[in-house]
């Protein structure tokens, strides 16, 4: 499979194309030091065979925030070094941190915007990025990724909504690129030519008047010219359309652009691959070989493999899918696709991020802070009979019920519509579920898979064909 071909990124060889993109964990304390829980989270990705592990956004400055890792002072280096040492001791996975600068936010909903920064303050940001990059290099990371996506400072300068009227904005793309250009120049000077320096940015802002792929192609081209060693594409996650909950700081993933950034279960799979394909084609067409990564509901191995085969990107970034099951890569490689704990995109992890609580996956056993480890001793859950599965259709829903399977930690619900392709709809811990997205007049079949906490499952049980009646207004006289 293409997924398991290695890739060299400025001397850093990643063993396969599976990337864990940055995902804030809120596992560290307010001080921002690495602790055992943080190390355990990233060690699990290394054990699970991910090619490239991007460590959650860590601050280049001391601005107050919730529990967030930091690279803003030398005192953080020993903890970060322990993290890289552990990961490197486990597998040939590579590990890079995402470094971030963000501006002030308040519980009233107020937020600082880029037009309030003086040129002297911009100079400080340039220096902070350079110093943080040097620290993470010293801590043994294989490279560094600059966070220029979503709602944060570098991305806000890049945005079409950048309100500055000077050289760092002024309605021009070149003006909006100036800060990241200066940051890159300084970071490169600090870490040298042979240390991978990479960037994450939005392929599309998904806000009113935001930039689209027309401009992100040009941004990507400039980033390739600047010598960024990979371009990791995300989308949205902006303050401009965020919905303010009184008494809390504005969460940039609460509006539509946030829905696009961390797409929930109602959005299509692989929904941003088209953006990557356009950007990649633009780079290749202009002679740039810079690797491109893309994220967004790519945890179905078929989708991941297809986009690589088509050359739409070079790496597949899987965030919530690997949170649910850090062993995703090894399971795909070993042909154990049926044992993957499949993310159902319920976004409990996103809600935990929004409320600054430790980020866990709702599919893990109750109370677990980390993904359960696989154990051959765990019995595979199996029904002794047909699982007593029943499906009751109405004009607009299908209600499913089944019996408990001994040893099951959860149940995955699949639906097929006669084309033979069963699609995952949801993952639940109870023994009932209602399908509210059915079309009258169609025939459906449902399959329930009982799985252990580490993802192993026996054969699914299935309903017979379920015929939905046509709604009254469709029935001819
Ligand atoms: C809990 C959580 C925390 C995240 N933290 C970051 C972050 O620190 N930096 C970042 O660039 N993206 C962050 N993201 C976005 C993911 O990296 C990823 O782009 C997004 O979830 C879509 O990919 P997926 O569909 O594979 O989950 C976060 C996402 C989640 C769910």
258 lines ligand 1 (CB under 6 A): no
Mean pLDDT within 92-120: 96
Which member of 42, 45, 152, 446 is catalytic? Answer: 152
Nearest CA to ligand 1 atom 5: 23
- pLDDT tens across 334-351, in order? 999 999 999 999 999 999
Domains and CATH numbers, the chain: 2-354 (3.20.20.70), 390-474 (2.60.40.10)
What does pLDDT average to over the chain?
A: 96
User: Helix and strand tally (H, E) in the chain?
Assistant: 12, 18
For helices 173-191 and 119-138, what crossing angle results, to 10°? 40
Tell me, using a 6 A CB cutoff, whether residue 321 lines ligand 1. yes
Determine whether the shortest distance from the Cβ of 260 to ligand 1 is under 6 A.
no
pLDDT digits (tens, 9 = 90+) for 60-73: 999 888 889 999 99
Q: How many angstroms is it from 221 CA to the middle of ligand 1?
A: 24
Q: Is the CB of 23 under 6 A from ligand 1?
A: yes
- Percent of the chain predicted with pLDDT > 70: 99
Using one digit for the tens of pLDDT, what is the confidence trace for 383-442?
989 999 999 999 899 999 999 999 999 999 999 987 668 899 999 999 999 999 999 999
Q: For residues 178 and 347, what is the distance between their CA atoms, to the nearest angstrom?
A: 35
Query: Which pLDDT belongs to residue 67?
Result: 87
pLDDT tens digits along 239-249 = 999 999 999 99
* Ligand 1 centroid from CA 474, angstroms: 43
* Ligand 1 within 6 A of CB of 353: yes
Q: What is the mean pLDDT of residues 135-155?
A: 98
Q: How far is the CA of 146 from the centre of ligand 1 (A)?
A: 14
Is ligand 1 within 6 A of the CB of residue 148?
A: no
Look up 42 and say whether it is catalytic. Answer: no
Q: Which residue's CA is the nearest one to ligand 1's atom 28? A: 23
Q: 83 is written with which tokens? A: 């993290």
Q: Round to whole Å and give the CA distance between 423 and 446.
A: 10
How far lies 288's CA from each of 229, 243, 258, 283, in Å?
A: 11, 39, 30, 5
Spacing, Cα 293 to ligand 1 middle (Å): 13
- Model pTM score: 0.96
Backbone torsions φ then ψ of 425, nearest 5 degrees = -105, -40
């Amino acid at each position: 499979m293409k997924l398991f071909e290695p890739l060299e990124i400025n001397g850093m060889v990643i063993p396969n194309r599976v990337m864990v993109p940055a995902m804030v964990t809120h596992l560290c304390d307010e001080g921002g030091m690495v602790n055992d829980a943080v190390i355990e989270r990233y060690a699990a990705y290394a054990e699970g065979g991910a090619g490239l592990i991007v460590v959650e956004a860590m601050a280049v400055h001391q601005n107050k925030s919730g529990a967030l890792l930091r690279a803003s002072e030398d005192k953080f280096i020993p903890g970060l070094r322990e993290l890289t040492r552990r990961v490197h001791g486990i597998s040939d996975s590579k590990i890079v941190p995402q470094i971030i600068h963000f501006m002030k936010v308040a519980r009233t909903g107020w937020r600082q915007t880029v037009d309030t920064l003086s040129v002297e303050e911009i100079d400080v940001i340039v220096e902070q990025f350079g110093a943080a990059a040097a620290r993470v290099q010293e801590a043994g990371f294989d490279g560094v990724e600059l966070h220029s996506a979503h709602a944060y400072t570098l991305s806000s300068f890049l945005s079409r909504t950048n309100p500055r009227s000077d050289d760092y904005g002024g309605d021009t793309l070149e003006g909006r690129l100036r800060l990241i250009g200066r940051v890159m120049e300084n970071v490169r000077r600090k870490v040298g030519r042979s240390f991978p320096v990479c960037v994450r940015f939005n392929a599309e802002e998904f806000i009113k008047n935001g930039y689209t792929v027309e401009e992100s192609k040009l941004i990507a081209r400039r980033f390739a010219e600047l010598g960024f060693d990979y371009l990791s594409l995300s989308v949205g996650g902006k303050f401009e359309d965020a919905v303010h909950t009184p008494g809390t700081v504005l969460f940039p993933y609460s509006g539509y652009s946030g829905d696009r950034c961390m797409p929930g279960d109602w959005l299509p799979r692989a929904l941003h691959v088209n953006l990557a394909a356009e950007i990649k084609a633009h780079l290749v067409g202009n002679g740039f070989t810079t690797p491109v990564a893309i994220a967004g509901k790519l945890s179905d191995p078929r989708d991941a493999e297809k986009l690589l085969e088509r050359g739409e990107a070079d790496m597949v970034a899987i965030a919530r899918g690997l949170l649910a099951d850090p062993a995703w890569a090894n399971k795909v490689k070993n042909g154990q696709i049926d044992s993957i704990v499949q993310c159902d995109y319920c976004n409990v992890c996103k809600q935990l991020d929004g409320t600054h609580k430790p980020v866990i996956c709702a599919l893990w056993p109750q109370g677990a802070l980390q993904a359960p480890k696989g154990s051959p001793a765990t019995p595979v859950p199996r029904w002794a009979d047909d699982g007593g599965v029943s499906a009751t259709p109405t004009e607009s829903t299908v209600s499913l019920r089944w019996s408990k399977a001994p040893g099951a930690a959860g149940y995955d619900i699949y639906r097929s519509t006669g084309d033979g392709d069963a699609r995952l709809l949801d993952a639940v811990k109870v023994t009932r579920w209602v399908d509210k997205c059915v079309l009258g007049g169609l025939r459906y079949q449902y399959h329930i898979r009982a799985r252990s906490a580490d993802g192993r499952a026996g054969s699914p049980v299935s309903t017979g064909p379920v015929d939905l009646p046509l709604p009254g207004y469709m029935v001819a006289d």
